[in-house]
Amino acid sequence: MFKNKPKSLLILGILTILNTSLAILNGIISLVSGPPGAEQIKKENLEMAKTIVDFRQLDPPPEVMEIIEKIQQISTAVNDNFLFFTGISTLFSIIGLVSVILMFRKEIYGFHAYIVYSILSSISIYFILSPSEVPTPLIVVNLLFSGLFVFLYSRNLAWIKNDSSLTNNEE
């Protein structure tokens, strides 16, 4: 499966396979073990409240406090929608894993599936929260990393399409 592939595609693919495989494994384990219990949720909420109190003593800018409070809302929403969110996140990771395997098999649909995976993974939080509750920096950072990986994968499109006259990624 790894023979004669551009090194950059191989590195990107291995990174994506590791990331998506771990996400799938974590998702399956989470789905099997079920949502956190009331005690664990209460403990997490107390720890987050303590963190917020400690952080406020440092007198941070209001924007930073807003992001921290929104992260607490995200945590609550994930716990409230545990099965749904964990299920779709696992499904998105499966799409990512399949996309890399397809790209390794020189299927252009793998690249298209990777774009879908990147977008869905970046915006998945919107499935359980309204846009006003999601910190913009979180989405921006996710989209920037996704865009970077899509760009890096796109540098290997000539090889994926099997057009040998355009392939320069053997370095």
Question: Could you read off the pLDDT of 11-44 as tens digits, one per residue?
Answer: 999 999 999 999 999 999 999 998 888 888 889 8
The residue type at 123: I
Count CB atoms within 10 A of the CB of residue 122: 20
Confidence band for 164, pLDDT divided at 50, 70 and 90: very low
User: In the structure, how many helices (H) and strands (E) does the chain have?
Assistant: 7, 0
Which DSSP string corresponds to 108-122?
A: HHHHHHHHHHHHHHH
Confidence band for 167, pLDDT divided at 50, 70 and 90: very low
Residue of 45, 1, 43, 15 whose CA lies nearest to 153: 15
Alpha-carbon gap, residue 35 to 131, rounded angstroms: 24
Query: For 107-128, how does the pLDDT look when each residue is reduced to its tens digit (9 = 90+)?
Result: 999 999 999 999 999 999 999 9
Tokens of 145: 């990393």
Question: Is the pLDDT at 51 greater than 90, yes or no?
Answer: no
**Phi and psi torsions of 51, nearest 5°:** -60, -45
Confidence band for 72, pLDDT divided at 50, 70 and 90: confident
Question: Is the pLDDT at 63 greater than 60, yes or no?
Answer: yes
pLDDT at 16: 96
Query: For 136-147, how does the pLDDT look when each residue is reduced to its tens digit (9 = 90+)?
Result: 888 999 999 999
Question: Is the pLDDT at 86 greater than 60, yes or no?
Answer: yes
